[in-house]
Amino acid sequence: MGIFRKKKNQIEEEAVREPQAEPAYLTDEAYEDDFQYDAISERRRAEQLRTVRRTFAAVFFAFIFLMPTILTFTNSFMTASEISANYGSIFAQNNSGGKVYVSETVNLKFIPDMVTFTQYFTVLFKSPEYLMKFWNSVIYVVPIVVFQLLIASLASFGFARYRGKVKQLIFFIYIVLMLMPYQVTLVPNFLVAKELGIVGTRWAIWLPGIFSPFAVYMLTKYMRRIPYSLYEAAAIDGAGEWQIFSQICMPICRGGLVSIAILIFIDYWNMVEQPLILLDNEEMYPLSVFLSRINAGEISLAFAVAVIYMVLPMLFFLYGEEYLVEGILYQGGIKE
């Protein structure tokens, strides 16, 4: 939020300053018979042209970035026959039995012929397996976000309050672990889960998620920006460590916690690798994995399920875009 606000202020400041600061010899009239006049007006024209060009480029990119989301959204309001009329040639091929009308060509349509909520109705009330998978997703993600943040808050305070060589080393190990791809961390996770006998249970997803070093890294970076003198002052006033943590450190970190929560949420809401290896029962798969297994007979429902699946992250996004941006910048290490 900071940088964008600052930028805006700067622009405003400049706008205010400009008319006063511009002496008479710099105005357009003064250039009237100046030999530089042509060069300057040309420059201005070039700038305008560039802005127009860039606006077009931005619109072009915006179209590409938005198209898949909007298409999914509008298609979820189509009737089953309209879906199969449009996309039948694609999804019908792996259909076994079932009467599906197949058109020769595919037809990408943004606006449905007839808006209907049938698909949503079917998903929400008639086919419980989608809702079950949706709840699976919620049941995996919510405890991971909550407890990872809780444990990370404590640990980050431990890292940020006092520093030492040992802690520096441990923190470095956390960074390395955070940067490791799943292909590396899943093997250790699986071995422990097997040893503890929790393979195939929810704990196999929960526990590695809860102890993931990601939030610790992010929060520690956040907390290290709190001036040390603040803790010192509180300690002199007689506050214990717990009071310093809960009444000084945590309230300051509130914004950071929201940013990190959003980043953790996106990551686990999208999870695919972990369930495939740590769970053996497909009933327990989250919707992220299950969505790709919808077969051709139910393809008309797929768009509605897809929309239901993206509603939650989109709501978080609309509420917390600034927090998300802040979180990205912290992760990027650009904000000091």
Indicate which single residue of 9, 27, 41, 51 sits in contact with other proteins (rule: CB under 8 A).
51
The crossing angle, in degrees rounded to 10, of helices 299-332 and 254-269 is 140
Q: How far apart are CA 218 and CA 327, in angstroms?
A: 8
Q: For other proteins, what does the binding mask look like between residues 249 and 288, x meaning CB under 8 A?
A: -----------------x--xx-xx--xx---------xx
For the chain, how long is the longest CA-to-CA vector?
87
Distances (CA, A) of 80 to 14, 77, 300, 319: 57, 9, 5, 33
The answer to whether residue 66 forms part of the interface with other proteins (CB under 8 A) is yes
Measure the N-to-C terminal CA separation of the chain; round to a whole number of Å.
14
Using the structure block, give the residue that is written with the tokens 């407890």: 147
In 3D space, the residue among 187, 172, 216, 197 whose CA is nearest the CA of residue 277 turns out to be 187
Q: Any contact of residue 115 with other proteins (CB under 8 A)?
A: no
Verify binding: residue 44, other proteins, rule CB under 8 A.
no
Query: Residue 294: CB partners within 8 Å, gap ≥ 6?
Result: 301, 302, 305
What number of chain residues touch other proteins (CB under 8 A)? 108
Task: Write phi, then psi, for 33 (nearest 5 degrees).
Answer: -110, 25
* Single-letter residue type at 149: L
- Residue 306 touching other proteins (CB under 8 A): yes
- Is residue 291 part of the contact set for other proteins (CB under 8 A)? yes
Q: Which among 26-34, 49-57, 113-121, 253-261 is the span making contact with other proteins, rule CB under 8 A?
A: 49-57
Q: How far apart are CA 212 and CA 218, in angstroms?
A: 11
Yes or no: say if 238 and 296 are a contact pair by the CB < 8 Å rule.
no
CB-based contacts of 217: which residues, under 8 Å, 6+ apart? Answer: 171, 174, 175, 178
Binding segment for other proteins (CB under 8 A), chosen from 4-12, 21-29, 115-123, 252-260, is: 4-12
Minimal distance, residue 165 CB to other proteins, in Å: 9
Rule CB under 8 A: choose which of 57, 142, 146, 252 binds other proteins: 57
Residue nearer to other proteins on the CB measure, 24 or 64: 64
> Which listed residue (101, 110, 121, 162) binds other proteins by CB under 8 A?
162
Judged by CB under 8 A, the residue of 20, 96, 105, 281 near other proteins is 105
For residues 308 to 327, the per-residue mask of contacts with other proteins, x marking binding by CB under 8 A and - elsewhere, is -xx--xx-xx---x--xx--
Q: Can residue 292 be called a binding residue for other proteins (CB under 8 A)?
A: yes
The interface with other proteins within residues 21-40 (CB under 8 A) comprises: none
Stretch that binds other proteins, among 16-24, 25-33, 163-171, 252-260 (CB under 8 A): 163-171
Q: Classify each residue of 33-43 as buried b or exposed e, where b means 16 or more C-beta atoms within 10 Å of its C-beta.
A: eeeeeeeeeee
Q: Choose the stretch contacting other proteins; rule: CB under 8 A; options: 102-110, 113-121, 123-131, 250-258.
A: 102-110
For residue 247, the minimal CB distance to other proteins (Å) is 15
Considering the rule CB under 8 A, would residue 134 count as an interface residue with other proteins?
no
Residue partners of 199: CB distance under 8 A and separation at least 6: 190, 193, 278, 280
- Site residues for other proteins, 190-249, by CB under 8 A, read 190-192, 207-208, 210-211, 213, 216, 221, 224, 228, 235, 241, 245
**Segment lying near other proteins (by CB under 8 A), choices 17-25, 113-121, 124-132, 306-314:** 306-314
Least Å distance, CB 332 to other proteins, is 5
Q: Tokens 């919620």 label which residue?
A: 138
Q: Does 72 bind other proteins (CB under 8 A)?
A: yes
User: How many Å apart are CA 79 and CA 191, to the nearest integer?
Assistant: 47
* Binding track over 140-159 against other proteins, x by CB under 8 A: -----------xx-xx-xxx
